[in-house]
Amino acid sequence: ASAQIGVTGLAVMGRNLARNFARNGYTVALHNRTASRTHDLVKEFGHEGDFVSTETAEDFVAALERPRRLMIMVKAGEPTDAVIEEFAPLLEPGDMIIDGGNAHFADTRRRERRLREQGIHFVGTGVSGGEEGALHGPSIMPGGSKESYGSLGPMLEKISAKAKDGAPCVTHVGPDGAGHFVKMVHNGIEYADMQLIGEAYQLLRDVAGYSPAEIAEIFRTWNTGRLDSYLIEITAEVLSHVDAATGKPFVDVVQDQAEQKGTGRWTVQIALDLGVPVSGIAEAVFARSLSGHTALREASRHLAGPKATPLGKAEAGAFADRVEQALYASKIVSYTQGFHEIATGSEEYDWTIDLGKVASIWRAGCIIRAAFLDRIRAAYDARPDLPSLLSDETFAQEIAAAQDDWREVLAAATRQGVPTPGFSAALAYYDALRAERLPAALTQAQRDFFGAHTYRRTDRPGSFHTLWGGDRSEVEA
């Protein structure tokens, strides 16, 4: 038994994580359902470090030094349960099973509970950064016991991405499902970021009249400022790419139907359960599902509406600046919503998640990595009990400075018939939070009218009901 870590499930994420461990000096035991994958890995990358290639579950477990660290990189859902059932009987108290897939945090909680009975630490771990991240340094979000982090943490710190200040992009997020919960919200925010970028692109194209290549340049410029982020960077790459077969902008030959594997949807489902308004993230999920309704879109193509008429070159530049403001302000709102969900989940499940730490480990390695996250970290570090990111003075000032342009952009989008569900939801959230009075008063009154659901008054305590069907006098409920 010589391997410090074992990886089972050697599809691209598992394979790259295994190589990352090996490149960092760890001896890595390898296992895969079909052994040819294991052999291929060793044949191709064996020179990168120490690998122990194994064929059976027993050999794999026997190759691991104790306490064993066994990482499973298989599909979320049933395949994960099947692998756990295969290996758990072979393990001993103190051993660790690390699930690095995109599992639902409720499954992680269930698995953790069940394995704890056997004395096994189950560490549900978010891993972000795609294939490249897995190989060169992902952002890692482990849950599970504190004790397991003591043994596993230093290894994860070694293979993780490092922020500009050198800090490893990994932390013990919290017990049981906390890591997968945070990864889920990371993905929800990822969806929102992508939707907002998509809307910015569409506005620059239809309202400003820029070509994809010109828009790529605009994104490149934005990437040198406060929007500096991986997703903005790759947007410029994608938009400047030309399809070899047709000579057209690549973005024009890709079918406009966005797929999803589920983590964004979970973010919204859980937010609904927790009562957290994540309207921007929800719109991003809905926008993807709307895009996939081919028949619905086909049938609706004749619906009336304005046709966008592109601005002249002179005005286009100023409009692009406005879109940058709208994008940035909307981004602040989606992060506000995402962090609110994490804070609420943390409270609900007693995880005591450090929000500043979460922002900190998202600064590098993950898909939503951005300069912006350093500022979120600073905001939470300065005030860990910050009720909302919008309560941070700097963000509030920035959004205040952006809002005129934000409104102008939305006015133009509405006039010209360009759908902007993300920008619009973000502004509606912002205005709702600002509002002194919301029409919720009317909603409550209606509820009382048709269902005697009662209401509270602004001028004295207690619950009341108006006898709507009678003399409309008020009674205490």
DSSP state of 46: G
Give the interface size with ligand 6PG as a residue count (CB under 6 A).
12
* Beta carbons within 8 Å of 45's beta carbon, 6+ residues apart: 19, 22, 51
User: Exactly one of 366, 370, 389, 412 binds ligand 6PG (CB under 6 A); which one?
Assistant: 366
| Nearest distance from C-beta of residue 390 to ligand 6PG, angstroms | 25
Say whether residue 338 binds ligand 6PG (CB under 6 A): no
Catalytic entry in 183, 199, 283, 331:
183
Q: Which C-beta is closer to ligand 6PG: that of 91 or that of 189? A: 189
- 117 in active site: no
**Is residue 349 within 8 Å of 176, Cβ to Cβ?**
yes
User: Hey, what amino acid is at 385?
Assistant: D
Q: Which residues make beta-bridge pairs with 204?
A: none
User: Hey, what amino acid is at 415?
Assistant: R
Say whether residue 174 binds ligand 6PG (CB under 6 A): no
**Is residue 2 within 8 Å of 68, Cβ to Cβ?**
no
- 183 in active site: yes
Q: Which residues make beta-bridge pairs with 113?
A: none
> Looking at 45-53, 113-121, 122-130, 213-221, which segment touches ligand 6PG (CB under 6 A)?
122-130
Q: 299: which 2 tokens?
A: 């049938």
| Nearest distance from C-beta of residue 258 to ligand 6PG, angstroms | 8
Catalytic entry in 92, 158, 190, 214:
190
Say whether residue 190 binds ligand 6PG (CB under 6 A): yes
> Looking at 123-131, 233-241, 305-313, 404-412, which segment touches ligand 6PG (CB under 6 A)?
123-131
Which strand ranges, in their side-by-side order, compose the sheet holding 455-456? 455-456, 463-466, 474-476
**Burial code of 402-425, b = ≥16 C-beta within 10 A, e = fewer?**
bbebbbbbbebbeebebebbbbbb
User: Exactly one of 4, 53, 108, 187 binds ligand 6PG (CB under 6 A); which one?
Assistant: 187
DSSP state of 287: H
Q: 6: which 2 tokens?
A: 């074992």
DSSP state of 469: T
Q: Which C-beta is closer to ligand 6PG: that of 140 or that of 399? A: 140
- Binding string, residues 48-87; x marks residues near ligand 6PG by CB under 6 A: ----------------------------------------
Say whether residue 263 binds ligand 6PG (CB under 6 A): yes
Say whether residue 12 binds ligand 6PG (CB under 6 A): no
| Interacting residues with ligand 6PG between 201 and 240 (CB under 6 A) | none
> Looking at 115-123, 125-133, 302-310, 333-341, which segment touches ligand 6PG (CB under 6 A)?
125-133
| Nearest distance from C-beta of residue 45 to ligand 6PG, angstroms | 21
Say whether residue 260 binds ligand 6PG (CB under 6 A): yes
Q: What angle do CA 68, 169, 9 make, to 5 degrees?
A: 40
Say whether residue 279 binds ligand 6PG (CB under 6 A): no
> Looking at 235-243, 257-265, 315-323, 375-383, which segment touches ligand 6PG (CB under 6 A)?
257-265
Q: Which C-beta is closer to ligand 6PG: that of 136 or that of 407? A: 136
User: Exactly one of 67, 77, 79, 130 binds ligand 6PG (CB under 6 A); which one?
Assistant: 130
Per the listing, tokens 């960077």 go with 233
Q: Which C-beta is closer to ligand 6PG: that of 21 or that of 266? A: 266
Q: Which C-beta is closer to ligand 6PG: that of 103 or that of 216? A: 103
Closest residue to ligand 6PG, judged by C-beta, is 128
Say whether residue 129 binds ligand 6PG (CB under 6 A): yes
State the Cα–Cα distance between residues 124 and 129, nearest whole angstrom. 17
Q: What angle do CA 92, 115, 6 make, to 5 degrees?
A: 55
Dihedral of the alpha carbons of 435, 436, 438, 444, in degrees to the nearest 10 = 150
Which strand ranges, in their side-by-side order, compose the sheet holding 96-99? 51-53, 28-31, 5-8, 69-72, 96-99, 121-128, 139-142
**Is residue 260 within 8 Å of 285, Cβ to Cβ?**
yes
CA atoms within 13 A on the CB side of 67: 18
Question: Which residues lie near ligand 6PG (CB under 6 A)?
Answer: 102, 128-130, 187, 190, 260-261, 263-264, 366-367
